[in-house]
Structure 1
Amino acid sequence: MSPISCQGATSITTFVIFLCDKIEPALRKAVFERTAKDIAEDMKSKFPDFRGNRANLEVCILRYLAEQENFAYFKQYLTSPKQFFQSYIEKQVKSHCLDESRRLRMFLHSCLESFYGNILSAVSLSTQIVKDRKDREDKISLWLDEFCGELAEVINLPRSDLKGIEHQEVTDIEFLSSAMAKALIDLTDRLMKELADADMSSFSRQPHTIADMSSFARQPHTILAEHFSGCWEKCPFCGAVCSNTMQNHDGDHQLVFHRPQALRGYTWWWTNHLVIDICSSLVASDCSFKFPGLPWIPFKTYRDAGPPFSTWRILPDSSMQAYWKWFVSRFRTQLEALYNGKFQGKGEIPDSWQRITKQEALSELERR
């Protein structure tokens, strides 16, 4: 853009309009980015679900599933655990931000007010530095240097985008400062009205127009979910997720508690009897398993089956969580229909499992 040349008040007005037109989209973007981070931090501080690690969050999710007692939700969790974690977090964020207190609007307004203060301070500081510089004729260029420098850590306002006004013939820097202060009030008031209508759909659309209010580069529930990232590999026998907190971690996948293999639909060979045994007890047994194209392999030497079996460390352990005993008993009919199998023969559900109450299952789960 070629330099703009005006005089006096007209020159200052042109300068202020141009600069505010550059500030507005940068400010809007900064407000939404900060708000997303603030919401994630607020959720971590106020919700027990999000105060600990992923293992703690999983307990909370299992409690939620038991309370809902909806087999469709369990199916989603068992087949796509990572996606279910993310959708659970998203649901909690939306519930927190869109309740009657309109927290989303409060977060946005608070961020906007904070940034408004930062920009106003940058205007004042730049003015104080430049106004008495008699050794510089290019005061506007110097003012812009200082202004952008002050805001470098606040909003993304590249100095190179302002070359079109750096040669303005403005001599009254203090008048420029007051004009900017007034323009910033108008800009902030306009953005406040926009933000009053924001909703969580703003987190999921790409920005096209101002009216979209969709400048969130990252959604708050995505930021929160990243806090609980880790390995999402599933046990090839029971489908439980590796408990390692690092993605692409060294060493074998492993977890504390395996689940009944019926949750993956496995049956005993040549029957439709679902397997209620857990992987960690089977590796201590004399049982073998077979998959299409593979020979019979003893569970004790399961690694001989190659990947993905060989990438898991399954230690002999007969401990099974009461939660899954309750689940199998409670949703027996649905599991049989889902996998076209039966809890019969070697897969007969013990009477002791059927006596476990939901509260007993949850109490044991939360003690671990």
Structure 2
Amino acid sequence: IEDFFQCFQISCQGATSITTFVVFLCDKIEPALSRAVFERTARDIAEDMKNKFPDFKSNRANLEVCILRYLAEQENFEYFKQYLTSPKQFFQSYIERRVKSHCLDGSSRLRMFLESSLESLYGNILSAVSLSTQIVKDKKDREDKISLWLDEFCGELAEVINLPRSELKGIEHQEVTDIEFLSSAMAKSLIDLRDRLIKELADADMSSFSRQPHTILAEHFSGCWQQCPFCGAVCTNTMQNHDGDHQLVFHRPQALTGFKWYGTDHFVIDICSSSVASDCSFRFHDYQPWTPYRTYRNAGPPVSTWRILPDSSMQAYWKWFVSHFRTQLEALYSQKFQGKGEIPYAWHRITKQEALSELERC
């Protein structure tokens, strides 16, 4: 009877140690798992957007075409103004708008993304429990089985969940000898943990992410965001701090940045790449000297950091835009499309569809 009670006492102590161990460990796992769910979901959403939407399947030039198509379809001058003055911010807001529409369109897509991530990570944890148990249970000569089990467990999860081994020092000296019982207790506790997180995820929204999916997606389209000093078009180099000059394929009418002919309130509708082949001169401020467009680099930064090749071709899109939003542009800059800035009759005949068709071909 004495031996029975002694064994019973040892068994109770072991069960208590395992319960203490499991509760402590799961309390550490739960917030780490929750963070990992949102981190993985953010990446999965960004990848899903790249796979499913033409806007995000290619490079930034392709995305810009999609944005210009969107702007033309909306025909909202305020949107155009935001795009022209703050292109990087507009790109980011456009991506954010598309991501939110995709995830919050009433189809519970965000919840499905989150639950999928949770199930995947939950499976990773169960596998780590099983593998750690298999490795440790046969090491009968080791007295530090729990410490070894934790080493294996954290090592298995290192690439998917941030669960620092150093935070588990408090339980590595628990008197646990029945490793298989420990594994069973962990599995049961993890089921309860998963069920709690599923309930929490039901109320999640885009603000729940510490790193937003649209931010991850926008990083795919990073690059140089310097704007041409004359027309405001964005440098097309894909490197943010690239070597060499800024450059782009198509410049725009200088009226888009408010350029006017000296001594008048008449817009300049020429593009920079045709101006650099002309006999005209420019200056940005009254206190600056005049600089011939042909030697524009002599004006110093920022124009000296640009490579603008002579080219008279102008995209039909911007001809359509200037014609369509003539009144709004005149009000924005308090200038007129008159004199040398008179809009050619041919520009008025360009339809939106013709402008978009040429844009996509280019």
For Structure 1 versus Structure 2, the TM-score category normalised by the shorter chain is over 0.9
Name the aligned partner's letter for residue 329 of structure 1. Answer: S
Q: Is the 8 A contact 2:206 2:212 kept in 1?
A: no
Displacement over 6 Å in runs of 4+: none
**In 1: Cα distance, 2:155 partner to 2:87 partner:** 45
Q: How does 1:240-319 map to 2 (within 5 A)?
A: 240-292=233-285, 293-319=287-313
TM-superposed CA distance for 1:291, in Å, is 2.7
**In 2: Cα distance, 1:139 partner to 1:243 partner:** 58
Structure 2 length as normaliser, TM-score?
0.96
**In 2: Cα distance, 1:232 partner to 1:244 partner:** 8
**In 1: Cα distance, 2:78 partner to 2:333 partner:** 14
The answer for the alignment partner of 2:144 in structure 1 is 138
Moved more, 146-155 or 308-317: 146-155
The answer for the alignment partner of 1:322 in structure 2 is 316
TM-superposed CA distance for 1:303, in Å, is 0.5
Name the aligned partner's letter for residue 54 of structure 1. Answer: R
Name the aligned partner's letter for residue 306 of structure 2. Answer: W
Q: How does 1:113-124 map to 2 (within 5 A)?
A: 113-124=119-130
The answer for the alignment partner of 1:362 in structure 2 is 356
TM-superposed CA distance for 1:173, in Å, is 0.8
Moved more, 327-336 or 128-137: 128-137
**In 1: Cα distance, 2:175 partner to 2:290 partner:** 87
**In 1: Cα distance, 2:136 partner to 2:227 partner:** 62
Name the aligned partner's letter for residue 299 of structure 2. Answer: A
**In 1: Cα distance, 2:305 partner to 2:105 partner:** 45
RMSD after superposition: 0.8
TM-superposed CA distance for 1:296, in Å, is 1.3
**In 1: Cα distance, 2:148 partner to 2:208 partner:** 38
The answer for the alignment partner of 2:68 in structure 1 is 62
TM-superposed CA distance for 1:131, in Å, is 1.1
The answer for the alignment partner of 2:33 in structure 1 is 27
Structure 1 residue 129 corresponds to structure 2 residue 171: no
Q: Is the 8 A contact 2:252 2:272 kept in 1?
A: yes
**In 1: Cα distance, 2:140 partner to 2:282 partner:** 87
Structure 1 length as normaliser, TM-score?
0.94
**In 2: Cα distance, 1:77 partner to 1:120 partner:** 49
TM-superposed CA distance for 1:201, in Å, is 2.1
Q: SS of the residue aligned with 1:148?
A: helix
Q: 2:52 aligns with which of 38, 46, 63?
A: 46
**In 1: Cα distance, 2:146 partner to 2:291 partner:** 79
**In 2: Cα distance, 1:154 partner to 1:37 partner:** 13
Name the aligned partner's letter for residue 330 of structure 2. Answer: E
Which deviations, in whole Å up to 9, do the C-alpha atoms of 1:157-178 show, x marking residues without a partner? 1111111000100111111100
Which deviations, in whole Å up to 9, do the C-alpha atoms of 1:24-83 show, x marking residues without a partner? 111111111111000000000000000010000000000000000000000000000000
Aligned length: 350
TM-superposed CA distance for 1:90, in Å, is 0.2
Q: How does 1:343-358 map to 2 (within 5 A)?
A: 343-358=337-352
TM-superposed CA distance for 1:223, in Å, is 0.6
**In 2: Cα distance, 1:101 partner to 1:281 partner:** 51
Name the aligned partner's letter for residue 345 of structure 1. Answer: G
The answer for the alignment partner of 1:213 in structure 2 is none
**In 2: Cα distance, 1:123 partner to 1:288 partner:** 74
TM-superposed CA distance for 1:11, in Å, is 1.1
**In 2: Cα distance, 1:133 partner to 1:55 partner:** 59
Q: 2:229 aligns with which of 227, 236, 248?
A: 236
Name the aligned partner's letter for residue 244 of structure 2. Answer: G
Q: Is the 8 A contact 2:330 2:336 kept in 1?
A: yes
Q: 2:94 aligns with which of 61, 77, 88?
A: 88
**In 2: Cα distance, 1:297 partner to 1:150 partner:** 65
Name the aligned partner's letter for residue 352 of structure 2. Answer: K
Q: SS of the residue aligned with 1:150?
A: helix
Name the aligned partner's letter for residue 236 of structure 1. Answer: P
**In 1: Cα distance, 2:45 partner to 2:116 partner:** 12
Q: SS of the residue aligned with 1:7?
A: helix
**In 1: Cα distance, 2:208 partner to 2:238 partner:** 31
**In 1: Cα distance, 2:27 partner to 2:83 partner:** 47
